[in-house]
Each structure stands twice: as structure tokens, then as C-alpha cells.
Structure 1
Amino acid sequence: MGVKSWYEANIMPRLITCACSQGQVMKRRAAVVPRARGDVFELGCGGGINHAFYDAAAITSYAGIDPHEGLLDGARAAARAKGWAADLRAGRGEAIPFADESFDCVVCTFTLCSVEDPRQVMREMRRILRPGGEALFLEHGLAPDADVRAWQGRIEPVWKRLAGGCHLTRPIAGALAGAGFAVEPLGAGYTPKTPRFAGWMEWGAARKVG
């Protein structure tokens, strides 16, 4: 195993899990994830961080995918600890392995930044949602301030290599609206005690229309 493969298998998942479970981030998860209802699908479920916030009484079924087997192990352990059945599979958002209109809700937290083709992923999210279903999102991405955006562009090439393909310059709510969702913003802002280039976050609900 080369250094790159060893890093991606052993170090990168731990760094991502640690960064995505900081106190301020968890507060924002708590504002989004409990809204999930019905048949729920989580895109990028690895690590299982969101399990603590799901209202199991409101959820009929739960499924999810993640491309990283090491992170999937954490998600499966979290599901066992919660005591609920979970259909968790290895997979990528560009080709979600579930049938059309299978879910009432898609949960997507800190995932769109690292997929290879965000437009295709959003098409897949729409495909698996039932009419009127919603995608709950919490993502970091392109900041509104020009000086921060400039630093994001400078840092992103190195950042992607260290953080599992994570991008700093992707738009969030605007991209979902462009993909045919009706977006209800729930909040946006820089995360306290986080470098601004990595700290801009947006969260909300994107309803499938049309």
C-alpha cells in the first residue's frame, strides 16, 4: 500500500469524522436532521454522526450509502447502537442504488463538497425522492465575501488532496435551486472558531417540485 492509499484508508476518515463532529457543527446538525420523516435516505452516511439526531419515532425506514468502507463501519456501529434497522451500502451519489421515488426524505450533510459530479448527484437525489419529498442539507461551500472566496480558490487545490476530495468553492442553496428544488433556507453563516475559508455553511430543506 502506497502512502496516498494508506493516508486515505487510515488517516483521512478520522480527520473528516473529527472535523464534522465539532461542537458548532453538531449544533447545526441538530437544527436539520431531526426534521427527517418517513422513508429516509442519507447520502454520505459514513461515520454515523447523524444517528444521534434522528427522531426514530418519525422514521419508517432508513437507508444510506457511502463510498468509504471504513466510514461505513462507523455508520453500521452507530445504527446498532441506536437499535434500528438500517440498509447501508457502499456507493456513490452519482449512481444511487435505489429505485425511483423510493424515499420521502434525503439527508445530505457535508457531502456535496466532495462528490465528483454534484449536478448528477442532485439529479439522483430528485430521482429517488417521491413527489413533494425534501432533501435536508447542511453543507459548507462558496463564501459570500470576495476576500474569503479568493482564499478559498487559492487553498482548494491542496485542501482537496488532504480532505478526501473536499471542495471549498462549490455553491450550496443556489445549486440545489438550479437542480429543480424549491429551497427553504434555515440558516447560513460562518462557523465560530473555524477559518473563514472553510467555515461558510448553509442549511435548509430543498423540496422536490415538478
Structure 2
Amino acid sequence: MSFYENHILPHLIGCACGAPQIMKQRSRLVPKAEGRVLEVGFGAGPNLEFYDPAKVSRVFALEPSMGMRRKAAAAIEACPVEVELIDLPGEEIPLDDDSVDTVVLTYTACTIPDVDAALAQMRRVLKPGGRLLFSEHGLAPDPGVQRWQKIIEPVWKPIGGGCHLTRRPDALIEAAGFSISDMTADYLPKSPKFASFNYAGAAMVR
């Protein structure tokens, strides 16, 4: 990884993904996790404070960025739930089939290069009856905002570590063989519209 990716980008992502409106979304979603949890795109561990140790036995934390794993050390140390940090991307999940009860995907699907392959891996490791919990930003419904998203995205991606503005996380999840059981979709407050249309919900394997 470049100096920017290893030393600067983790701090930028940490600030953006730790914004109050983003943390509020995490606080609503992550406590629903149960059993053995796979978190894809663990980052610096902003979700750790929201896992319920009475419900979660272990978190497999998939994070390919060395800079992010370094930033996560303190949060892992303070977490009452056992965390296993895994240095691999979402396309390479080293877990057995049907081995986790919950997959947590928060503000990560926008940056995974081969998101279809990653979602196929998440489906593979999720137990029957398990849930994929997701909160992701993506394509806005308003044509005017969409137009700006398409204009900004080519510049945004290299600055934001490959972050796409125009992906539809709900459509990607459904196409990967999941059924979305509930979802909210709206702009987050106090955020630029081109980057703040948020899809959040739960899905199960079809």
C-alpha cells in the first residue's frame, strides 16, 4: 500500500465513519448482531462499542488495511467480546461454510473492488437462518443528486480509498442471493446529499 493509503487515508476514513450521524446508524444496527459475527470492513473498530456481550460470542474482524488494523488495536483491547482480526479483503473470507450467525456490513460495500464476489462469500459463510445486517451509503433517488454523484465519483474514489457513490447496496445484496426483510432508505442529516443517502436493514439467505 502507498503512504497515503497506509498513513493518511485511515485517519480520513476514521473521521468520516465516526461522524455523529454515522455512529447513530451503527448504534441502531449493531446491537442486533448475535452469536458468531463476521464483520466485513472492520476499519478502526467503530462498531465494537455496540456489540452486546450477552448476545455475541466472537467477532471475526476482516480488515485488509494495515493502517486501519493499527488504529483498531485500542478498541479491540477494550472490547468485552473476543475479536479475531483477519488481514484479508471481503473477497477472501477464510471461514467455513455456514459458520457464522450474523454478518455485519457497515460503510464498506462502497469500497470493495469486487463487491459481488464479497457478497457471495458472506452468503457462503452465513448459517441458514442467520442475518446480514447492513448500513451503507449509495445512489440517491433524486435525479439531480444522482447527476452530481456521477460527476464527483471519479474524483472521490481515489481520495476515499475506492469509495463509490453510485452503487445500490440493496440491489447488490438481493442479486447475491439474499432477501431483505426490512430496510430504511433516506438522507442522513447534516451531510452532503451526494454522499449521504443511506440504506440500512437486514437480509437473510434465500
TM-score range, shorter chain: over 0.9
**Which TM-score applies when normalising by structure 1?**
0.94
Q: Aligned residue for 1:26?
A: 23
Asked if 1:137 is matched to 2:138, the reply is no
Asked if 1:163 is matched to 2:168, the reply is no
Q: Aligned residue for 1:5?
A: 2
- Please state how far the C-alpha of 1:176 moved relative to its aligned partner: 0.8
Between 1:122-131 and 1:64-73, the stretch displaced more is: 64-73
Residue deviations 1:101-135 (CA, integer Å, cap 9, x gap):
11000000000000011111110010010111111
Pick aligned residue for 2:107 from 105, 110, 113: 110
- Please state how far the C-alpha of 1:173 moved relative to its aligned partner: 1.1
Q: Aligned residue for 2:55?
A: 58
Pick aligned residue for 1:37 from 31, 34, 38: 34
CA distance in 2, matches of 1:6, 1:76: 20
Alpha-carbon contact 2:37-2:56 (below 8 Å) kept: yes
Q: Aligned residue for 2:87?
A: 90
What is the DSSP-based 3-state SS (H/G/I as helix, E as strand, rest coil) of the residue aligned with 1:187?
strand
Q: Percent identity?
A: 45
- Please state how far the C-alpha of 1:184 moved relative to its aligned partner: 2.2
Between 1:180-189 and 1:159-168, the stretch displaced more is: 180-189
Q: Aligned residue for 2:171?
A: 174
Asked if 1:47 is matched to 2:44, the reply is yes
Q: Aligned residue for 1:206?
A: 203
Q: Which runs of 4+ in 1 moved over 3 A?
A: none
Q: Aligned residue for 1:146?
A: 143
Asked if 1:186 is matched to 2:183, the reply is yes
Alpha-carbon contact 1:46-1:73 (below 8 Å) kept: no
- Please state how far the C-alpha of 1:208 moved relative to its aligned partner: 1.3
Structure 1 unaligned regions, length at least 5 = none
Residue deviations 1:26-81 (CA, integer Å, cap 9, x gap):
11111100000011110011200000111111012211111101111233321211
**Which TM-score applies when normalising by structure 2?**
0.96
What is the DSSP-based 3-state SS (H/G/I as helix, E as strand, rest coil) of the residue aligned with 1:131?
strand
Superposition CA RMSD, Å: 1.2
Q: Aligned residue for 2:65?
A: 68
Pick the structure with more helix per residue: 1
Alpha-carbon contact 2:102-2:126 (below 8 Å) kept: yes
Structure 2 unaligned regions, length at least 5 = none
Alpha-carbon contact 1:152-1:197 (below 8 Å) kept: yes
Letter in 1 for 2:195: A
Alpha-carbon contact 2:53-2:80 (below 8 Å) kept: no
- Please state how far the C-alpha of 1:144 moved relative to its aligned partner: 0.9
